[in-house]
């Protein structure tokens, strides 16, 4: 089956999450990715467990490394560094997330490689850029804190909270993927390679969207609101007679339908709740009215009735429930790959990109730790 990036060779110096996520997305689209790992230990996430699969491999590493080949390289070996230069000269794209300047010291920086391979796309992922923040450690939790995300996550009267997954790394990986594809398109037109630079802090700030523009345009510094929304109401979590229910009302029609289902039609005529701006101003009073009505039935029962009335609502699934929902909707959320070693198939989350002519391909499970022969 043809793939959109089947003629692309990528040399992947990256470790942990942001870079490997980007190169896995590109590999799913057909690129030949050679992952460079430290002899003996490999990518740090090979040791990040539990949980582990039936062969004792960390599931963290496997999440972002399918469809790749892996080679053990000692960056302290001149012979290995020379081999890397050869690989770079044969590659279309290099992806790296070392401390800024580290690869330059080995003769593997962008300026070094472009002299021998002018068409190279060189993607660098850092925590805080190559300038004044070059020496700051780029860990997702730290960026969530410094980048403001924790200040708007969690209950208003509790401590700041991180998001339950390394979201900033994932966002940076997605921005890196877009940047590489844009650079490749430019190269197709001009024959010129270029440097692609992504940093975690800028990726997070860009992803703050409405919370960011609240500050940049209106000077409003958002704060933690739990599950409530700063600009929409009702758009939050409610307790029911059994379980929690999310209600996400985005317009007046949906609010009127919500009130009808809850037998609170008079609220839709109340001046305090007639439009979204009014509902936001009086969100506390509205919440009290809705909670009283919702307390008589279970979350699943309310979700079914509200969805039938075209009011966005749903229960709070755990991860197993989320995968089960996707399966029930025919979204095929899991792909199975034959293991590189004896054992059970490797079950991984499907790439969500749907392409009618050149869909993502699942060619190989994440690589085992490569052997190193030394030089």
Q: Is the pLDDT of residue 38 over 60?
A: yes
Q: What is the per-residue pLDDT across 188-210, written as a single tens digit (0 to 9) for each?
A: 999 999 999 999 999 999 999 99
Note whether 162 and 256 are same-domain residues. no
Would you call 188 a catalytic residue per the annotation?
A: no
Of the residues 12, 32, 140, 169, which is catalytic? 169
Q: Are 137 and 119 in contact (CB under 8 A)?
A: no
Let me know if residue 269 belongs to a domain: yes
Note whether 65 and 136 are same-domain residues. yes
pLDDT for residue 375: 56
pLDDT for residue 169: 98
Q: What is the per-residue pLDDT across 79-98, written as a single tens digit (0 to 9) for each?
A: 999 999 999 999 999 999 99
Note whether 30 and 89 are same-domain residues. yes
Q: What is the per-residue pLDDT across 135-169, written as a single tens digit (0 to 9) for each?
A: 898 999 999 999 999 999 999 999 999 999 999 99
Judge residue 355's burial from the number of C-beta atoms within 10 Å of its C-beta, 0-12 exposed, 13-18 middle, 19 or more buried: exposed
Residue-averaged pLDDT of the chain: 95
Q: Are 44 and 68 in contact (CB under 8 A)?
A: no
CATH number of domain containing 267: 3.30.1540.10
Tell me what percent of the residues of the chain surpass a pLDDT of 90.
95
Alpha-carbon gap, residue 342 to 358, rounded angstroms: 31
φ, ψ of residue 349 in degrees (nearest 5): -70, 135
Note whether 34 and 86 are same-domain residues. yes
Alpha-carbon gap, residue 94 to 85, rounded angstroms: 11
Q: Is the dihedral of CA 123, 128, 133, 138 positive or negative?
A: negative
Would you tell me the crossing angle of helices 200-207 and 167-190 to the nearest 10 degrees? 100
Note whether 29 and 166 are same-domain residues. yes
Q: How far is CA 85 from CA 22, 25, 70, 161, in A?
A: 22, 24, 16, 43
122, containing H or E segment: strand 121-126
Note whether 260 and 336 are same-domain residues. no
What's the structural domain count of the chain?
A: 2
Range of the structural domain that residue 281 is part of: 235-239+244-315
**Six-digit token pair at 233?**
């109401």
Mean pLDDT of 107-118: 95
CA dihedral 13, 192, 174, 103 (to 10 degrees): 20
Mean pLDDT of 320-343: 93
Let me know if residue 217 belongs to a domain: no
Note whether 77 and 177 are same-domain residues. yes
Residue 146: how many CB atoms within 10 A of its CB? Answer: 16
Let me know if residue 266 belongs to a domain: yes
């Amino acid at each position: 089956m043809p793939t959109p990036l089947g003629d692309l060779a990528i040399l992947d110096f990256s470790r942990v999450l942001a870079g490997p996520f980007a190169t896995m997305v590109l590999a799913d689209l057909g690129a030949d990715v050679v992952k460079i790992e430290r002899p003996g230990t490999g990518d740090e996430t090979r040791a990040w467990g539990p949980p582990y699969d039936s062969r004792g491999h960390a599931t963290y590493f496997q999440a972002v490394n399918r469809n790749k080949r892996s080679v053990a390289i000692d960056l302290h070996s001149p012979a290995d560094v020379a081999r890397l230069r050869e690989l770079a000269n044969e590659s279309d794209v290099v992806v790296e997330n070392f401390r800024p300047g580290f690869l330059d010291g080995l003769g593997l920086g962008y300026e070094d490689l472009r002299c021998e391979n002018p068409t190279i796309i060189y993607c660098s992922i850092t925590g805080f850029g190559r300038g004044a923040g070059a020496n700051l450690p780029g860990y997702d939790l730290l960026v969530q804190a410094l980048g403001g995300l924790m200040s708007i996550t969690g209950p208003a009267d509790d401590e700041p909270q991180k998001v339950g997954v390394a979201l900033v790394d994932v966002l940076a990986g997605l921005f890196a993927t877009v940047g590489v594809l844009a650079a490749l398109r430019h190269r197709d037109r001009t024959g010129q390679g270029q440097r692609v630079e992504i940093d975690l802090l800028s990726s997070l700030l860009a992803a703050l969207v409405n919370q960011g523009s609240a500050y940049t345009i209106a000077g409003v510094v958002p704060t933690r609101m739990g599950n409530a929304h700063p600009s929409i109401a009702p758009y939050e979590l409610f307790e029911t007679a059994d379980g929690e229910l999310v209600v996400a009302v985005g317009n007046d029609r949906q609010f009127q339908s919500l009130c009808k289902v809850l037998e609170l039609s008079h609220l839709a005529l109340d001046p305090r709740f007639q439009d979204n701006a009014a509902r936001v101003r009086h969100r506390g009073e509205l919440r009290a009215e809705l909670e009283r009505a919702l307390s008589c039935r279970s979350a699943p029962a309310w979700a079914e009735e509200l969805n039938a009335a075209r009011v966005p609502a749903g229960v709070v699934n755990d991860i197993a429930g989320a995968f089960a929902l996707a399966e029930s909707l025919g979204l095929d959320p899991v792909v199975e790959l034959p293991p590189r070693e004896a054992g059970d198939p490797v079950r991984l989350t499907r790439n969500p990109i749907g392409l009618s002519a050149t869909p993502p391909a699942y060619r190989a499970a994440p690589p085992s730790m490569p052997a190193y022969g030394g030089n």
